Each structure stands twice: as C-alpha cells, then as structure tokens.
Amino acid sequence: MALGLTPFRGNWESRWFETASAATYPKGSLVNFNDAYRLKEYASTDSQVVGIALSYSTQSTSIRGLDMVEVALPTPNCTAYSDLTTGVTQSSMSIGKKISVYKQGNYMSYASALIGEASRFSGIAQVVGPIDATRSRVEVSFNLEAVAFYSGSSATFAS
C-alpha cells in the first residue's frame, strides 16, 4: 500500500494549518499554501512546499472553528521516504541527484527524476539514500530554498 511521503530522519516539526475548503488530498501528500495561505496540494508550478500532510484534508480537525490539518515541516537535515512507481531504476535515483515530486493517482508521493530543464521550481528535493526495492521507496531531503519555513524562499503563486 502506498504511504505517500513519510517523515523519516531529523527533527521534523508538526504544526496545524487551515486547509482550503475545496482542497482534497490524502495523508502523505506534499502540501503548499494557496494565495490565501491555506493548505492545498502541491503543484509542479509551485516554487515552495510547506510539508507533508499528516491527515486527509477531508478528515480535518476543527480548531477555533477552522478546518485544520496537521503538517510535518522539514527542518534542516530532515529526510523523508518517498514511494516510487514501477520502472524507476537506481541509476535514475542516484544519491545526490536533484529530483521532483509528482502526483499519480490519489497520492502526491512519488519521487521523479523528470525535471523540466527550463524550471528550477521542479527540483525541490534531492536523493540522499539508495532505493529500498523491497518497499519501493527512496530517501530524499527537501532543498532548503524550496521550503516555506527555515529558508529564504518567498511564496509565488504561479499556477
């Protein structure tokens, strides 16, 4: 069963954020802010990520009358496991390689070596561990210039 992205090593922080009313994403999804600074599912046109959703948006928790979702925020030196789709080879996920993350099916969970040459936005993560073929996953870290917290990244809403 696919788990999406799963926090692994390091000191991940956990925070609650309001989710956009129309946003639907599962636990393990990569999330970002929309233009009103409410959570939405990460899109390839986004320049940053907030973190990993720790619950389904449709199972949000009411806090102060707002629909909130708990999110794992990557801090420096954090890593995560990312599921892989079939056909991904170790050579395409070499340690040190910059990669993107994309949605397939109901999960925003898959590390991908396909980065548009014209877009630096796509390379939001880096491979830091070898492929775990038994569990079909790879260990990645997020590029600090591509995260919303603990970086110099500024939000752009270029979708």
Task: For 83-121, write each residue's pLDDT tens digit.
Answer: 887 777 777 888 998 888 887 766 666 787 776 544 555
pTM score over 0.85: yes
* Residue 158 pLDDT greater than 60, yes or no: no
Question: How many domains is the chain partitioned into structurally?
Answer: 1
- CA 148 to chain centroid: 11
The pLDDT assigned to 74 comes to 93
d(CA 63, CA 135): 36
d(CA 136, CA 2): 9
Q: What confidence category does residue 138 fall into, taking pLDDT thresholds of 50, 70 and 90? A: very high
State the CB neighbour count (10 A cutoff) for residue 90.
12
The pLDDT assigned to 157 comes to 57
The pLDDT assigned to 118 comes to 47
Host domain of residue 126: 1-159
The owner of tokens 């799963």 is 6
Question: pLDDT by residue (tens digit) across 7-64?
Answer: 999 999 999 999 987 878 889 999 999 989 999 998 877 778 899 999 988 888 889 9
Average per-residue pLDDT in the chain?
83
